[in-house]
Amino acid sequence: MNAIQDNLKAVGERIEVALARAGRAPGTARLLAVSKTFAPEVIQKAYDAGQRSFGENRVQELVAKAPALPSDCEWHLIGHLQRNKVRQALGVATWIHSVDSPALLERIQRLAEEVGAAPKLLLEVNVSGEESKIGFVPDTVEAALAEMPAGPAECVGLMTMAPLGADERTLRSIFGGLRQLRDSLQDRLGMPLPELSMGMSSDLEAAIAEGATIVRVGTAIFGRR
Ligand SMILES: *Cc1c(COP(=O)(O)O)cnc(C)c1O
What's the average pLDDT block by block, 10 residues per block, for the chain (225 residues)? 92 98 98 98 98 98 98 98 98 98 97 98 91 85 97 98 93 98 98 98 98 98 96
- Please give the distance, rounded to the nearest whole angstrom, from the Cα atom of residue 41 to the centre of ligand 1: 20
Whether 140 lines ligand 1, by a CB cut-off of 6 Å, is no
Angle, helices 40-48 vs 3-21, to 10°: value is 60
pTM as predicted: 0.97
**To test ligand 1's pocket by mutation, which of 98, 197, 200, 219 has the most ligand atoms within 8 angstroms of CB?**
200
Q: What is the pLDDT of residue 7?
A: 98
Contact indicator for 196, 214 with CB cutoff of 8 Å: yes
Rg of the chain, C-alpha, whole Å: 17
How many angstroms separate the CA atoms of 197 and 212, rounded? Answer: 6
State which ligand 1 atom lies nearest to the alpha carbon of 97. Answer: 13
- Please give the distance, rounded to the nearest whole angstrom, from the Cα atom of residue 60 to the centre of ligand 1: 17
User: Three-class SS of residue 16?
Assistant: helix
**To test ligand 1's pocket by mutation, which of 34, 58, 160, 164 has the most ligand atoms within 8 angstroms of CB?**
34
Which amino acid residue places its CA nearest to atom 6 of ligand 1?
Answer: 218
Q: Which residues contact 59 (CB under 8 A, 6 or more apart)?
A: 77, 81, 82, 85, 88, 89
- Please give the distance, rounded to the nearest whole angstrom, from the Cα atom of residue 150 to the centre of ligand 1: 30
Q: What is the pLDDT of residue 132?
A: 65
Whether 31 lines ligand 1, by a CB cut-off of 6 Å, is no
Q: What is the pLDDT of residue 199?
A: 98
